[in-house]
Amino acid sequence: MSAAKTGHAKRAAKPCLFCAIAAGTEKSFRVFEDDVSVAFLDYRPLMPGHVLLVPRGHYETLATTPDAVMAGLGIRVKRLSAAVMTAMGAEGSFVALNNVVSQSIPHVHFHIVPRRKGDGLFASGRMIWKRVGYKDDAEREAVAARIRAALAS
């Protein structure tokens, strides 16, 4: 199948927002970073405390992401899930990765969302992608600081 048919040629032409965030040239509310990855608050979260974990390298899909990078991300997802749950007083977490379909930014990324029973994320067996917002950047920074503190403990 050609790049035009898959949409990859069109998508690749735009600068990558997640690469800019990883490089520090685009604003974000970081909760974690190391040589492999960067984690930051989702700008349009499903729940307050919703974090995105991205590799520093640019990989559009699972198929193009090296196994070693995926292994490293998996370890970080585990740590971040525990920290998000602690920081947000959540009962659990939802971890997801969209691959091509519903992937709004063509850069592999994990969603780590705090969960509580009855939170309404799933209704009648379907996932409801309702977005919530933060009041302002001060609230975003306060949530990010809680997650960073949970990671440090």
- Domain with 7, as residue range(s), is 3-152
The pLDDT profile of the chain, 153 residues, written as one tens digit per residue, is 444 444 444 444 578 999 999 999 999 999 999 999 999 999 999 999 999 999 999 999 999 999 999 999 999 999 999 999 999 999 999 999 998 888 889 999 999 999 999 888 877 666 667 788 899 999 999 999 999 999 999
CA–CA separation, 49 and 41 (whole Å): 7
Which CATH number is 65's domain given?
A: 3.30.428.10
Tokens 């960073």, residue? 148
Answer whether 105's CB lies under 8 Å from 18's CB.
yes
Q: 3-state class of 127 per DSSP? A: strand
Q: Domain count of the chain?
A: 1
Determine how β-strand 92-96 pairs with β-strand 51-55. Answer: unpaired
| Rg, the chain, Cα only | 16
The backbone torsions φ and ψ at residue 23, rounded to the nearest 5 degrees and listed phi first, read -80, -15
